[in-house]
Amino acid sequence: EAQVTQNPRYLITVTGKKLTVTCSQNMNHEYMSWYRQDPGLGLRQIYYSMNVEVTDKGDVPEGYKVSRKEKRNFPLILESPSPNQTSLYFCASRHRGASYEQYFGPGTRLTVT
Amino acid sequence: DQQVKQNSPSLSVQEGRISILNCDYTNSMFDYFLWYKKYPAEGPTFLISISSIKDKNEDGRFTVFLNKSAKHLSLHIVPSQPGDSAVYFCAAGGTSYGKLTFGQGTILTVHP
């Protein structure tokens, strides 16, 4: 089954404790992206990657890191999480040549206390 | 600066009637527009799209209209069904490769 998976689905952590949210897709998509969803703000792009070893900042990259060492994986790293990073996070992917249609993962609910 | 705006946070409609969701954008470089639907505890799923060279695209009960001069697009759902109750996001692309800019979302509730 073609899908984008994220782990964990739910995470409660404390300020400053490094964490990684994993994202994996099995559709051989070149393009992957991370978004956060906050009430009243919709979905905002954090980082995106057009292919292996190619990443770029989105609209709200501060406080986040990403890496793309393999085509299928695109982890999101919070080196020192803060309460303002409490949010719902989505990973997405699509083929390079396709329209802008992206496939989204199920989301990761992160709470930073 | 919110380049894509959905000014109605919520919409309530009776089953069988038409639902109209609206979206405005400010960036004239956008050339591709999409609607996504999101149920609770799930990721957004693609619903329908339209290129800037068209003014209408239809897929079953869903039709998207684009008015480039007004920088406005709308999604029509006819007839509305209770299963359509979800959050709807409009999105626009075209300013840089692969980047989508999303609106704030509109919660649609269809009452039986």
Measure the CA–CA gap between A24 and A48, rounded to whole angstroms.
Answer: 14
The answer to whether B4 and B91 have CB atoms below 8 angstroms apart is yes
User: Quick check: A100 and B42 CB within 8 A?
Assistant: no
**Residue A111 pairs with which residues in a beta bridge?**
A12
The answer to whether A38 and A52 have CB atoms below 8 angstroms apart is no
User: What local confidence, expressed as pLDDT, does residue A112 receive?
Assistant: 97
Please indicate if any CB of chain A lies within 8 Å of the CB of B50: no
Residues of A with CB under 8 A from a CB of B: 4, 31, 33, 35, 40-45, 48, 50, 58-59, 90, 92, 94, 96, 99-107
The vertex-A87 CA angle with A82 and B21, nearest 5°, equals 150
Torsions phi, psi for B84 (to 5 deg): -80, -10
Q: What is the pLDDT along chain A (113 residues), one digit of tens a residue?
A: 889 999 999 999 999 999 999 999 999 999 999 999 998 899 999 999 999 999 999 989 999 999 999 999 999 999 999 999 999 999 999 987 667 788 999 999 999 99
Interface test with A, best of B23, B35, B104, B106 (most A CBs within 10 A): B104
CA contacts within 13 A on the Cβ side of A7 = 4
How many whole angstroms from its chain centre is CA B105? 8
Q: What is the pLDDT along chain B (112 residues), one digit of tens a residue?
A: 779 999 999 999 999 999 999 999 999 999 899 999 999 989 999 999 999 999 999 999 999 999 999 999 999 999 999 999 999 999 998 866 667 899 999 999 999 9
Torsions phi, psi for A84 (to 5 deg): -75, 0
User: What local confidence, expressed as pLDDT, does residue A40 receive?
Assistant: 87
C-alpha distances in Å from residue A73, one per residue of A12, A47, A69, A108: 23, 14, 7, 16
Please indicate if any CB of chain A lies within 8 Å of the CB of B40: no
The answer to whether B11 and B109 have CB atoms below 8 angstroms apart is yes
Q: Which residues contact B9 (CB under 8 A, 6 or more apart)?
A: A40, B104, B105, B106, B107
User: What local confidence, expressed as pLDDT, does residue A43 receive?
Assistant: 94
Tell me: the pLDDT tens digits for A2-30? Answer: 899 999 999 999 999 999 999 999 999 99
User: What local confidence, expressed as pLDDT, does residue B97 receive?
Assistant: 67
Measure the CA–CA gap between B33 and A11, rounded to whole angstroms.
Answer: 33
The answer to whether B23 and B47 have CB atoms below 8 angstroms apart is no
